[in-house]
Each structure stands twice: as C-alpha cells, then as structure tokens.
Amino acid sequence: MRRFLLRRVLLALPTLLGVTALVFATVALVPGDPLTAFLGPGAPPEARRELTERLGLDQPLPLRYASWLGHVLRGDLGVSIAGQRPVRQLLLPAVGQTLLLTAAAFLLVLVGGVLLGALGAGRPRGAAGRLSGALGTLAVSAPQYSVALLLVALLAVRWRLLPAGGTHDAFGGGGTADLLRHLVLPAVAAAVVPLGLTARVFRAALGGVLAGDLADALRSRGLSRAAVLRHCVHNASPALLTIGGLQLAYLLEGVVFVETLFAWPGLGGLLYDALSARDLPVVQGGVLVVAVAFVGVNILVDAAHALIDPRIRSPR
C-alpha cells in the first residue's frame, strides 16, 4: 500500500507542476493593469515604476514564474497588493469556510445519492423507481444558478424560513445553531447537481449487481430483500467511491460560485474581490489551493480503491 501511494504521489507531482505553470500564466495574462487598480489612474510614474520593480513585473514571465514557484515551495504565497498582508493569512480563514460548505454539501450528496439510487435500483419499474429516476434527471438538468435563486426566493424571501446569505445574523446572531441555519441554503444549492449524478451512477451500478449471479445466489438461500440489497450495495461501492470522489472534487470548485451568490466568506468571495482589484498574488494563491485540493482528492480516491480492491495495488 505504501508503494502504491508513493507511485500515485510521484505521478501527481508533474501534474501539480503543470497546474502551477498554467495558473501563473493564465492569471498573469488576464487583461487589466494591477498597478492602475492599486495606485489609481492618476498615479505618478515614479510610484508606478517603484511598485513595478517591487512586484517583479518588469521581469520576463518565465523568471517571474521561477521566482514565484520558489517562494511557493517554501510556503510563501506572496503579499496581497490590495491588502498589504501575506496571502496565506487571507487564504486560511477562507479555505476553512470553503471546506465547511464543501463538507456539508458532500454529506447531502452521499446521503441523497445513495438513497435515491438504492430506491430506483430496488424497484426500477415501480412508482418509487420512476420517481427516483425523475428526481435524479431533474437534479442533473437544473442549472445551479436557477436552483440557488429559487431557494432564496422561496425559503428566504417568501416564507422567511432560512437566511439568504452570510454565516451569522447581523443582530443577535452567533453560535453553532445560527451557523447551521445559514449553511443550509448554500449547501443544498451546491449539492443538487452532484447529488443527481451520484444517484444515477449508483442506481446503474447497484441495478447491475441486483440483476447478476450474486443476487440470484443470495435469493436462492432465502435471504430477505433487505439482506440481498445490503450485500449488493457492498459490491456496488466501488462505483459509489469513484463518483463520490469526482463529485467531491467538483464541489471544491463549484462552491466558489455558490459562495459568491450567498455571500459566504470562503474562497469564492475572496477570489471575486481579488479579481476585481487585480490582486494577482491572491488570485494565484487561491486557484493554486483549489488545484492542489483537486489533485489530493484524486489521490485519496485511488487509495480508497486500493484498500477495497487489492488487485489495484499491483504495478502493471
């Protein structure tokens, strides 16, 4: 298992290196002038020249990338142009909020996807199976933006059951209960599409196992429907693990939009403000964190697969 993980990590290193180069080049080539955004359009040439030299913007792009990568490898993501604070200090609280929202949405994806998928696979031609298929298709087809607006319009504005944004009430708020109330709408909005995909994939995988020889053998031994379903769920778990890992990686990127819409103080809001201010170090650091998390999730999924199926560990 250690050799398998070591191989996966070594294979991920070139990917991460390519991601860092792509992130740096993309952000550096975004139209706009960070000097004007920071100093203003009427800044004197001396101030622009001094800031250009301090930020290294007078150097060629490859040299700037090499310098930035060297600092990143030492854990230094630079200093925010707009806030004049280390980027790491800005990213840490935002990453914590993003991970909280991602974890809540992923929990909804797993629970809802397994329940809908098992319901559809257990009775594929019954009313429950048809309802499961319809809900899964609706979830996959629903635009995330429309779902978020509908949730806000109904649950926050019309019925006033849940807050529309933020993490705590402005007056009299605070505590875990208040945080959970604010977490519901963005978590549901982020989870709808991956929940539908998870349900459809798990339904197909579980349906294939239920129609196979294993399920026939279990039924011939007189096991109940629930016992047969329980054994077959275990055999369908690799498919759930694969789609679950992909959806977790999707959520890490997709919640950025949801955070902006619901004023959740995570990476989404931070990156949006940084892009608006042309704060390149913050943008580069935030996108790099998301990319590293994406690669890390894939490594964890591979490791979980290797634990379930030892044949995967053997080198080909």
| Residues 148 and 258: beta-carbon distance below 8 Å | yes
Which residue's structure tokens are 């230094």? Answer: 76
Mean pLDDT, the chain cut into blocks of 10 residues (316 residues total): 82 85 80 73 84 83 90 89 88 93 94 92 84 88 86 92 88 81 94 93 92 90 87 87 86 82 89 83 88 85 78 62
What's CA 239's distance to the chain center, in Å? 19
pLDDT at 295: 85
Model confidence over 201-247: pLDDT tens digits?
999 999 999 989 989 999 899 988 888 888 898 888 888 888 888 88
Output the CA torsion sign for 308, 311, 312, 313: positive
What string of DSSP letters covers 264-306?
Answer: -TTHHHHHHHHHHTT-HHHHHHHHHHHHHHHHHHHHHHHHHHH
pLDDT at 239: 87
Q: Terminal CA-to-CA distance of the chain, rounded, Å?
A: 15
What's CA 290's distance to the chain center, in Å? 8
Inter-CA distances, 52 with 34, 70, 186, 284, Å: 10, 20, 40, 18
pLDDT at 299: 86
pLDDT at 13: 85
pLDDT at 312: 67
- Check residue 86 and report its DSSP letter: B
Rounded CA gap, 169 and 179, in Å?
9
| Residues 100 and 265: beta-carbon distance below 8 Å | no
